[in-house]
Amino acid sequence: MTKKVCIVGASGKLGRYMIQHAIDRGYEVVGVCRQGSVGKLDDFKGSITVVAGKTNDRAVIREAVAGCDAVLVVLVPWGVQQYSSGTAQAVMDFAKPDARLIFSCGWHIARDGRDVYSWKLKALVSIGGRIARWLRLVELDDQVEACRRIFASDRRWTLVRGSDLTEGESQGLPVWSRHVGDPMLASNITRRIDFALFMVAAIENDELIHEAPAIVSRLAPSAMACTFQ
């Protein structure tokens, strides 16, 4: 039977790559995006169903995830409106009990205190996060809260932690580690198209259930160095 997959945050860069990968795999796709962004999905007109609305609107999520076997969620900390936690909570509350739930975030999300961060990333999150919060642009704490709830959940979740991102052709499925600070991740770069590929491939990979993989491009120098050791 054809799998039905909901993509929350479908109109963004990551979302649109995920739609294409999901279509390529023959999945039926439902995309959720803000009303004003529906036009960004024109390329997929006729191929997907679009549910328009804010992704932290529980009624919107309830409608969109109905009957879906998997939900791919772009967790974003934009605005000061509990966007990430509201979105994640609604997905966990309304998705089918056995649905695969796959969330995106960045390396800055720590699960068990065993990640090792560069001073650059620590400074960016601490100082940049505070300034952005003060400007009411970004609410990083809420993304952290969303991930805390995901980690505590017994749903079939995976939280994919992306490195710095770049555009370009696919280099294949990224490699991953349980902890930031693993030398394999040191290059800190992944093509966005491959971040999306990892998210979509996770639907069929039960080994990733209850994991928070930190990813890097398989062709990044640090990944190549570890692969060929």
Ligand X SMILES: NC(=O)c1ccc[n+]([C@@H]2O[C@H](COP(=O)([O-])OP(=O)(O)OC[C@H]3O[C@@H](n4cnc5c(N)ncnc54)[C@H](OP(=O)(O)O)[C@@H]3O)[C@@H](O)[C@H]2O)c1
**Residue 229 CB, nearest approach to ligand X (Å):** 26
The answer to the question of residue 75 lying near ligand X (CB under 6 A) is yes
Dist CA 157 CA 47 (whole Å): 26
Looking at the Cβ atoms of 119 and 228, the one nearer to ligand X is 119
Tell me how many residues contact ligand X (CB under 6 A). 23
Considering the rule CB under 6 A, would residue 6 count as an interface residue with ligand X?
Answer: no
User: Which of 3, 20, 23, 34 contacts ligand X by CB under 6 A?
Assistant: 34
Q: Which member of 24, 78, 127, 136 binds ligand X (CB under 6 A)?
A: 78
Minimum CB distance to ligand X smaller for 30 or for 105 = 105
Tell me: does residue 133 bind ligand X (CB under 6 A). Answer: no
Q: Does 105 bind ligand X (CB under 6 A)?
A: yes
The answer to the question of residue 181 lying near ligand X (CB under 6 A) is no
Q: Determine the interface stretch with ligand X among 68-76, 179-187, 199-207, 218-226 (rule: CB under 6 A).
A: 68-76
Binding site for ligand X (CB under 6 A): 9, 11-15, 33-34, 37, 40, 74-76, 78-79, 83, 104-106, 162, 164-165, 192
